[in-house]
Amino acid sequence: MPPVRGRLTHGAPLAPLVWFKTGGAAEWLFEPADADDLASFLYALDPGVPVMALGLGSNMIVRDGGVPGVVIRLGKAFAKVTADGLALTCGGGASGILVSSTARDAGIAGVEFLRSIPGTVGGFVRMNGGAYGREVRDILVEAEVVLRSGEQRTLALGDLGYSYRHSDLPEGAVVVSATFRGEPGEPAAIQAEMDRIAAAREASQPLRSKTGGSTFANPDGDKAWRLIDAAGCRGLTRGGAQVSEKHCNFLLNLGDATSADIEGLGEDVRAAVKAASGVDLRWEIQRVGIVA
């Protein structure tokens, strides 16, 4: 492995770092000191070694055989958010809560929805994260990325090829920061909107469970949860995994699930929905690594 200033760990368990709390280890886990450390590492790394970014693992199944190559996790050096006028400059490792509360304090409205998505700016940009009628493409100005080659580049909104919960971010690229833009707003009104969103979340989603967020993207003109419910899958189990009773587009690790249980249950649901309604659900959760 090339020399680094940050932390490089061989055989690092990933289960503690992801919401499902399942899965194998990263062959290498790299926590860079800063963007230049990441860029020089990727430049020197054998181009044949696969690279994957990890945020809070809130939309990810890490398979039980682990992840070959290098997993990159952005730590404190990438977790700052600053406001300037209506613009927010956010480190790729900053949380949605920090982005939305910094926006509130600066009187910037329109990013309240990030309060409810439990991930990092890098994950939001990659996934076009969204909730309550807004998504990242509505607020993104540009993103700073380090490509797999080590090249540092600024990507404008139009370069990211956004569609519903999808971007064309190149394979192996790491988002190290992003600039969002909102509208002028009153901090008290922004806080009220954040509170409304948080309460709606609490009522409808299993937020305190080992889960991975929405399992399947909503198909055009329909809701994945409605199709799953209609196919009779609410509460369905496989090994230690269950389809949430509270929100049936969420899968749960009841305590001793493997990633194979969770992914297998998702495939059971896809098959049941296909049989009941003819719809092919698309996985929204990212499934990474190798089957044990």
Ligand X SMILES: Cc1cc2nc3c(=O)[nH]c(=O)nc-3n(C[C@H](O)[C@H](O)[C@H](O)COP(=O)(O)OP(=O)(O)OC[C@H]3O[C@@H](n4cnc5c(N)ncnc54)[C@H](O)[C@@H]3O)c2cc1C
Q: Which residues are catalytic?
A: 165, 214, 284
Beta-carbon contacts of 192 under 8 Å, excluding residues fewer than 6 positions away, are none
Smallest separation, CB 47 to ligand X (Å): 18
Query: Binding to ligand X (CB under 6 A): which residues in 64-83?
Result: 74
Residue 275 CB, shortest distance to ligand X, in Å, is 27
Helix (H) / strand (E) element for 96: namely helix 96-105
**Piece in contact with ligand X (CB under 6 A), picked from 1-9, 35-43, 115-123, 217-225:** 115-123
The span from the CA of 157 to the CA of 208, in Å, is 33
Report the distance separating Cα 21 and Cα 257, nearest Å. Answer: 9
Using CB under 6 A as the binding rule, the residues of this chain from 131 to 150 that contact ligand X are: 131
If binding is defined by CB under 6 A, does position 160 make contact with ligand X?
Answer: no
Is 81 in contact with 96 (CB distance < 8 Å)?
no
Binding-site member from 101, 102, 177, 205 for ligand X (CB under 6 A):
205
Residue-by-residue DSSP string for 147-200 = -TTS-EEEEEGGGG--BTTB--PPTT-EEEEEEEE-EE--HHHHHHHHHHHHHH
Residue of 53, 94, 99, 178 that binds ligand X (CB under 6 A): 53
d(CA 27, CA 68): 5
Cβ atoms < 10 Å from Cβ of 191: 17
Least CB distance from residue 236 to ligand X, whole Å?
19
Rounded CA-CA distance 208/222 in Å is: 27
Query: Closest distance between ligand X and the C-beta of residue 242, in Å?
Result: 15
Residue 20 vs 270, nearer CB to ligand X: 20
Binding region for ligand X (CB under 6 A) out of 34-42, 61-69, 112-120, 148-156: 112-120
By the criterion CB under 6 A, which residues form the site for ligand X?
19, 52-60, 74, 92, 116-120, 122-124, 126-127, 129-131, 174-175, 205, 207, 211-214, 286
